[in-house]
Amino acid sequence: MSERNVREGLFGQLARIGKAISNPKRIELLDILGQGERSVESLATVTHMTVGNTSSHLQVLRNARMVETRKEGTKVFYSLADERVAGFVRELWSLADARLAEVDRLIREYLQGEETLERVTREQLVSRSLSGNVYIIDVRPTEEYAAGHIPGAVSVPFDELTEHLAKLPADMDIVAYCRGPHCVFAPKAAQILRQHGLRAMVLEDGMPEWRQGGLPVSTASS
């Protein structure tokens, strides 16, 4: 085999990854799976696709070895192949942040007034959590909370936020977090809380970065 054939073969393998993420829905699926394992039906619901379309996209990702599956009865569950896939998605976000102004514009248009929100780092949140002077809420869907959350955090899914308002403390700082620095659930939730007179702020990133940083993670069974 010639050097040219080898190079073309190697770049062809890289192109398998490029093809796998060439669809925005498949990137969204990877982003969601970065929070934890999900069934096909659950992924279809959260991405607003049919089960059939969801399965088709997942098969493309599986063929590129980016996701893995397991069966439980008649259900099929998907998860990221390994931490390198999660890191790849984070780097993709970072590149988009650096090169595409539309990313920041889209977020700002959705989060009018978001720039006034106070943000806390992981280190600051750990310190305040240990001192007991902060109330942490996880505004991701309950399945993602169950798969892994910040110890002491309370599950308050964004879609159910208004139902929990009366239960949230008025005498403590509330820190909301979600899927990562580009997830709009946490800042939007903090905006709503502030509109109701609560002291709210957001974690500057999210659960994947928390886990990657080697910080403790609780699950529904722990």
Give the separation between CA 32 and CA 29, rounded to whole angstroms: 5
Q: Is 169 left (phi over 0), alpha (psi -120 to 50) or beta?
A: beta
73, 178, 222 from 216: Cα distances, Å: 31, 16, 11
64, 167, 198, 206 from 179: Cα distances, Å: 24, 23, 22, 5
Assigned token pair, 188: 């939007």
39, 79, 197, 213, 218 from 71: Cα distances, Å: 9, 12, 46, 30, 24
Largest Cα–Cα distance in the chain? 71
Q: Which of 80, 174, 178, 189 is catalytic?
A: 178
CB atoms within 10 A of CB 26: 21
Give the separation between CA 52 and CA 173, rounded to whole angstroms: 43
Is 183 a residue of the active site?
A: no
DSSP code of residue 202? E
Residues with active-site annotation: 178
